[in-house]
Amino acid sequence: MQQKSLTIALAGNPNSGKTTLFNNITGTRQKVGNWPGVTVEKKEGIIHKHGYNLKIIDLPGTYSLTPFSIEEIVARNFILEECPDVVIDIIDSSNLERSLYLATQLRELDCCKVLFALNMADLARSRGIQIDADKLSELLDVPVVFTIGNKNQGIDILLKKAIELGESNAVVPQSRRVKYSQDIEHSIAQLQNFIEEKKNNIFLYNTRWAAIKLLEDDKIIKERILQKVGNSGHEILQQAQLQRKYLIDRFNDDPEIVMTDERYGFIVGIIKEVMTTSTRQRVDISRNIDLILTNRFLGFPIFIFFIWAMFQMTFSLGAYPMQWIDSGINLFSASLDGLLPNSLLKNLLLDGIVAGVGSVIIFLPNILILFFCIAIFEDTGYMARAAFLMDKIMHLIGLHGKSFIPMLMGFGCNVPAIMATRTLESEKDRILTILITPFMSCSAKLPIYIILAGTFFSAKAGTVIFAIYFIGILTAILSGRLFRSTLLKGVDAPFVMELPPYRVPMIKSLLIHMWDRSKMFLKKMGGVILIGSIIIWTLSAFPRNITYSTDYESQIKKVKANYLTEFTTGNENTKDSIEKKRDAAISKILMAQKAEKIEKSYMGKIGKAFEPLFSPIGIDWRGSVALLSGFVAKEIVVSTLGILYATEAEVESDALKKALLASNMTSSAALSMMVFVILYLPCLATVSTIRRETGSLKWTLFSMGYSTLIAWGVAFLIYQGCRMMGLG
């Protein structure tokens, strides 16, 4: 028997529990991708229930359907153009007033059947909020179901009602909806009639809604009308202009603002009808917490403390599993070493792949912890407070506090950070934030600072690293100002900082959020790193037949011969020390040989070719190669330095420190290198994320070029400045 199908879309405010409900409904049968053309996450799943094929779509979270942000445009377009059979609006019952704005807009849209899920029913109850669902259902003429998403309650009823609604012949458009004041209703009616006349039967939308949008001067709808209706489209737009002018005269304000106010008035009315709050439990916990956490004097120090604690956790707690993984990798490569016969393939496997990929996997614990902390900030509602606190400072750059969230995440990894800019409403704000986020030093760069600062500024290493981070932040701020006043001029979009209520986070949702981000990180980095390691290794291992400047073989033979004579003539007690002396001499020769081999490899040649570019900032050919390899992933810089200085490629091994000290690198060169590292070209994964999120090759190239030029310039000033002051 052919099964019947229904498409059900889930709409709702961010954090209203959409994804929770979606996951509960679809279980594991879900597909995650992006909406065609834009990078807003699209989740869909198909399930078979009650004799139906149900296609469930998790729409992006939005507060309204006015096209300010990509999320809003996507959600609206989906409903308008794909016409799902049923739209379920997930309402946060503990926050009814805010949720109803979207709900009333959905009712106004009137192009599909709508059903309300009053989610977070438990939270509402515990706050003493009572909602009269029958009354709400009657007032807005929609079915209403209570649900508790995280406890899987009410979901079956919700689905049944959705199917029932989908199959019913409820009329769309329905009659009960937002009513505006007389003047506005008059203009709506006039324009609606005009559209009806001119639409040539090819009009897509509900005409009342189209009239409202035209009065609001909605650009997308205007464009659509021109596309679809052709010449009469122009007439419609002209008529809309006339009506708008009339309304502006009447109200001395933008019709959009007047209508928004009236909608809120309508909502306040509904709230009065359907919601009662028991006074005893009125004490709003969130407000009390906010008295401290967003306090004018305390808020900022507390915030700095949380950030400090986050980094502290990330690095100190991460150190233990890091050691375990490290010894695991060492064990693995030692056993491979024993198992495989000597060959080029073995070298590739051990020195290239295991060493390269291993150097990234080591950072997994840090990344998990960092993302776990960020998930806590988000799920408790503190992240919004952080944005609120930073709002003033961000205005210096011409951005909102909201942009601060991606920048903060940039300290972890720029890939999810840049993806987090999706929450920004204005396109220009997004691009600006994307351009400056890479100056936030990501965690992968930290090992480089640890090595360089530890080696050359041992006593003051902490301060130096802090200064490096500071240079990054300062560059971000200055660049932000520069872009705001040149390339990305714009007015701040009207915007209210949402302060959602505090919530005790659920451990399961924290883990899911953490894993979602880390998984993406692993997947992207894993692939790129694997390929990068193979390339770096290949470049350092070829060409094979090098003519060495010295005959290392015969040197070794000589050492061995010396040893034999010493050994046979020496006494029993000195044998150990003679053996040690021999091994030290041989390894010294082998290191010299390895160093020369690398210098003559393709990698050495590339480094030498780039040396003229880097020598003004105090970096020799080895540093050049390391920095170039950092394009693949910043973690590789340290392991490349390890390979080039002919030592073990271990992050904190003393061998690399000794080799660096013995080399001709000076402390001002080390400083210059660190500055260059924090500012230059982001890694490949970040670049491809920038490409995807800006949707523009131009901005991607600009970001790469700009950061590298700035890096070179600042490093030059610092290096030459230090030298002029005689600082080595």
Contact residues toward Mg ion (CB under 5 A) are 19
CB atoms within 10 A of CB 509: 18
- Cβ of residue 121: shortest distance to ligand GDP, in angstroms? 6
- The span from the CA of 387 to the CA of 373, in Å, is 16
Q: Which does 517 bind (CB under 5 to 8 A by kind): ligand GDP, Mg ion, none?
A: none
Q: Which residues bind ligand GDP (CB under 6 A)?
A: 12, 14-20, 61, 119-120, 122-123, 148-150, 379, 505-506, 509
Structure tokens at 581: 């002396």
Q: Is the Cβ of residue 19 or residue 518 nearer to Mg ion in the bound state?
A: 19
Q: Is the Cβ of residue 14 or residue 173 nearer to ligand GDP in the bound state?
A: 14
Q: Is the Cβ of residue 15 or residue 686 nearer to ligand GDP in the bound state?
A: 15
- Contact yes or no for 469/674 (Cβ under 8 A): no
Q: Which does 7 bind (CB under 5 to 8 A by kind): Mg ion, ligand GDP, none?
A: none
Q: Is the Cβ of residue 12 or residue 166 nearer to Mg ion in the bound state?
A: 12
Cα atoms in the 13 Å half-sphere on the side-chain side of 490: 21
Q: At 446, which helix (H) or strand (E)?
A: helix 446-456
Q: Is the Cβ of residue 326 or residue 516 nearer to Mg ion in the bound state?
A: 516
Alpha carbon 435 to its chain centroid, in Å, reads 13
- The span from the CA of 257 to the CA of 452, in Å, is 56
Look at strands 52-58 and 4-12 and give their pairing: parallel
Give how far Cα 179 sits from Cα of 188, 265, 269, Å: 11, 10, 12
Q: Which does 119 bind (CB under 5 to 8 A by kind): ligand GDP, Mg ion, none?
A: ligand GDP
DSSP state of 437: G
- Cβ of residue 295: shortest distance to ligand GDP, in angstroms? 26
- Contact yes or no for 444/633 (Cβ under 8 A): yes
Q: Which does 433 bind (CB under 5 to 8 A by kind): ligand GDP, Mg ion, none?
A: none
Question: Which amino acid would we find at residue 426?
Answer: S
Q: Which does 611 bind (CB under 5 to 8 A by kind): ligand GDP, Mg ion, none?
A: none
Residues 6+ apart with CB under 8 A from 687: 681, 700, 703, 704
Q: Is the peptide bond before 543 cis (omega within 30 degrees of 0)?
A: yes
- The span from the CA of 221 to the CA of 476, in Å, is 37
Which residue's C-beta sits nearest to Mg ion?
19
- The span from the CA of 310 to the CA of 175, in Å, is 53
Q: Is the Cβ of residue 123 or residue 619 nearer to ligand GDP in the bound state?
A: 123
Q: Which does 148 bind (CB under 5 to 8 A by kind): ligand GDP, Mg ion, none?
A: ligand GDP
Q: Is the Cβ of residue 118 or residue 191 nearer to ligand GDP in the bound state?
A: 118
- Cβ of residue 150: shortest distance to Mg ion, in angstroms? 13
Q: Is the Cβ of residue 12 or residue 299 nearer to ligand GDP in the bound state?
A: 12
- Cβ of residue 427: shortest distance to ligand GDP, in angstroms? 22
Q: Which does 256 bind (CB under 5 to 8 A by kind): ligand GDP, Mg ion, none?
A: none
Q: At 10, which helix (H) or strand (E)?
A: strand 4-12
Q: Is the Cβ of residue 153 or residue 688 nearer to ligand GDP in the bound state?
A: 153
Q: Which does 122 bind (CB under 5 to 8 A by kind): ligand GDP, Mg ion, none?
A: ligand GDP
- Cβ of residue 142: shortest distance to ligand GDP, in angstroms? 19
- Contact yes or no for 438/682 (Cβ under 8 A): yes
Structure tokens at 594: 């390895």
- Cβ of residue 162: shortest distance to ligand GDP, in angstroms? 17
Q: Which does 123 bind (CB under 5 to 8 A by kind): Mg ion, ligand GDP, none?
A: ligand GDP
- Cβ of residue 12: shortest distance to Mg ion, in angstroms? 9
Structure tokens at 288: 């009390």
- The burial of 450, by beta-carbon neighbours within 10 Å (0-12 exposed, 13-18 middle, 19 or more buried), is given as middle
- Contact yes or no for 627/642 (Cβ under 8 A): no
Q: Is the Cβ of residue 19 or residue 426 nearer to Mg ion in the bound state?
A: 19
Sign of CA dihedral 110, 111, 115, 120: negative
- Cβ of residue 513: shortest distance to ligand GDP, in angstroms? 8
Q: Is the Cβ of residue 14 or residue 328 nearer to ligand GDP in the bound state?
A: 14
Structure tokens at 258: 């007047």
- Cβ of residue 514: shortest distance to ligand GDP, in angstroms? 13
- The span from the CA of 258 to the CA of 253, in Å, is 7
- Cβ of residue 354: shortest distance to ligand GDP, in angstroms? 38
Q: Which does 93 bind (CB under 5 to 8 A by kind): ligand GDP, Mg ion, none?
A: none
Beta strand residue intervals within 466-589, DSSP E: none
Q: Which does 16 bind (CB under 5 to 8 A by kind): ligand GDP, Mg ion, none?
A: ligand GDP
- Cβ of residue 192: shortest distance to ligand GDP, in angstroms? 34
Length of the chain: 728
Q: Which does 406 bind (CB under 5 to 8 A by kind): ligand GDP, Mg ion, none?
A: none
Look at strands 86-92 and 113-119 and give their pairing: parallel
- The span from the CA of 637 to the CA of 446, in Å, is 11
- The span from the CA of 275 to the CA of 273, in Å, is 6
Q: Is the Cβ of residue 150 or residue 667 nearer to ligand GDP in the bound state?
A: 150
- Cβ of residue 99: shortest distance to Mg ion, in angstroms? 15
